[in-house]
Amino acid sequence: MVNQLPQSILFCCDHNAVRSPMAEGIMKRFYGSDTYVQSVGVYNDLEIDGFAISVCYEIEVELSRHKSRSFDEMAAFGDDLSSFDLVVALSPASQRRALDLTQFFHMKVEYWPIMDPTGIGENREMKLSAYRQSRDQIISQFSKLWGIPTKD
């Protein structure tokens, strides 16, 4: 069963450098601009990951201009967490943080167990393979919930 796309969605992971920017970029590219999409991390201590940029580029998703930010920075910039219909946590730490921050809001927080590819692989090709697997897990989850993605 295909669900209706949410009006706004926030993806979160540990550092906003791999999984959440991939989810944000893929969502925007495959489902268009009908849904407001952002991403954050529990921490902002890393830049966008080069392997994430590479595997998303393979499917025409541009991530090189992504600027990592944390939940705290999002609030400091005036983005209100309560304005999102759905928060999708892609790591256990981000799920805990999202649940803490949303305990007084009526909003849905989901956890999607997307593999963290950052420590996998001994050479470039093995690392790319792990990142592709994470990317494809995100696409599979999207397809399950909102139908097969189509490019603009």
Decide: 28 and 20 in contact? Cβ < 8 Å: no
In angstroms, rounded to a whole number, what is the distance separating the alpha carbons of residues 138 and 142? 6
Does some domain include residue 2?
no
Give the pTM. Answer: 0.93
Does some domain include residue 152?
no
Does some domain include residue 55?
yes
CA 119 to chain centre: 18
Decide: 15 and 25 in contact? Cβ < 8 Å: no
Does some domain include residue 151?
no
pLDDT of residue 150: 65
Does some domain include residue 23?
yes
Could you tell me the residue range of the domain that residue 98 belongs to?
8-145
Residue 118: HSE in the Cβ half-sphere, 13 Å Cα cutoff: 13
pLDDT of residue 124: 96
Closest CA to 35 of 67, 66, 3: 3
Does some domain include residue 150?
no
Q: How does DSSP classify residue 6?
A: P
Does some domain include residue 19?
yes
| Pick from 10-24, 28-42, 49-63, 127-141: least confident | 28-42
pLDDT at 152 over 80: no
CATH number at residue 134: 3.40.50.2300
36-71 tens-digit pLDDT: 999 999 998 889 999 999 999 999 999 999 999 999
Domain count, the chain: 1
Does some domain include residue 17?
yes
89-134 tens-digit pLDDT: 999 999 999 999 888 887 889 999 999 999 999 999 999 999 999 9
